[in-house]
Structure 1
Amino acid sequence: MELRQLKYFVEVADKQHFGRAAEQLFISQPALSQQIRLLEENLGVELLDTTARKNYRKVKLTPAGEHFLAEARKLLLQAGRLEETTRQIARQNQVLRLGVYKALLKERIVEFIEAFSRARPYTEISIHEYDNYLEVQDALLDREIDQGLTLYPVIHPTLKYEILKTGGLSLILSKNHPMAGREVPVEHLLKNGKWIELSRKVHPVYKEIEDRCHALGIQRQIIQEVSSLNLLISLVGLNNGIGFAPSLFDFSAEPGILVKSLENTVFGDIRICHILART
């Protein structure tokens, strides 16, 4: 005896007509009749009055059928409750391990979490922070996290992703820098500034910056390459040099530096991407 057979029997009893019941169940009438016969054979009793159906083309329950109908309704109701409560428990126990590049603007992270929570309200989000954008990708490959929020480019071909936001470059310099209170063309700074730069390995647009400088005929004076944005900001704050950083980054907690937007200059776009999963 199967749950679907109980459902079929209850529908036939409710509609008191095989054709209408079959239409409601989206199956053929012969298939429905066969399932009811199999149910009766399995039980070894007659649930529908054969004489009434044969002579008067009516659906009439036998006494055993009346009893079976009442109990079948209870079982289907219990099965539905069991299915729903099981799903609820599974949803409540779901946890998404979200890896984020911690330099990103907090608003971007909050926006993503709010949108995700609206779509999957029963899923808890556990946030894992990483020091550079490539570490998020590596963590996903190593299955330390389930999804990621980081910067483009995605260097691993087995990762699926979508672009969420696009930004440009900002110039960061110490508040004590001689140029801090002046508007200076970026070309002048490229020619004459002492630069602290993220290393090529962890820089999302290192090549685009150098290509632009080459097109302008400028050889930048890079006095230090560092492996993290935090170190870059610290050295800039000490007035050791100036630097570039994506405008999508959060500089609100850095009191010693000034940030100037360079989004109108021709450098590569900086993009926040949501890494979905491994393919």
Structure 2
Amino acid sequence: MDLRQLEYFVAVAEEQNFTRAAQRVHISQSGVSAQIRRLEKELGAELFDRSARAAELTAAGKAALEHARNALAAAGAVGQAVGEITGLLRGNLNIGMVIGCTVTPLFDALAGFHRAHLGVELSLREDNSDRLVDEVRTGTLDLALIGAESAPEGLETLTILSEPLIAAVPGGHELAGRAIALRELAAHPVVCMPPGTGLRAVFDRACAARGVEPVIALQASAAGAIADLALRGLGVAILSESMAAEHPGLTALPITDATDPALLAITWRPEANVAAREMIRHCRRAFRIDSGTTPDTLP
């Protein structure tokens, strides 16, 4: 048997489908099937029950799965150890980014990492912060840029931005020009981010702590969409300070009793691989963050 066969075996086991596994490992379905057959022939046992709709593991397959994963991890560790010595990184680096958050320094960090480590294949995808954190915990993602109400427990975190929530309204709005409390805000329709995002978590927690039930009129994942909806009189926008500052047509209103800040942060597992930690180094440089410091605003 070889590592390629073990990789295909693990992919089919995890995807429970030969077609999806083939897409994951970037070869044809027939190629995956052929390699699995060869592995089964060598082991003298069928690894999958092909009579079921899904590709379900047989007893032999279940017994083999963890060992196959360990073998692949060990092979990866060998390459990683050599990479640390030679300065050459290879493999994949999977990065997540919260939806609707275009943060140029992150892209600068990605570009710098790519130039320095051409042997590493980068992937970047968007999702809401809750799901990104879950995928970092499980190892699906190596690191992620998230919005959060606090640093995720059990993960390492590099805080990019920490600032209070604000309400934002067009210049002619009755609330314009003064600070407001959450109870006063609740008398107006609100436009905010959906559940699963850091800003929404901070807003919901502040409202719950004061027994306030706001009317969520509209939700959008991008700050620009929230601002545009508020500019058209469809509700009071709930944004961070820097988000509101990007939209000069809106007037920012401090919320006097929403004191907990919202965080924009990069998070990763304590046991993150060398490539992930190298990417963190590039992020520190791109965001101009020294160890132990946090910027007041994004560059």
TM-score by length of 1: 0.49
Specify the structure having the higher radius of gyration (Cα): 1
TM-score by length of 2: 0.46
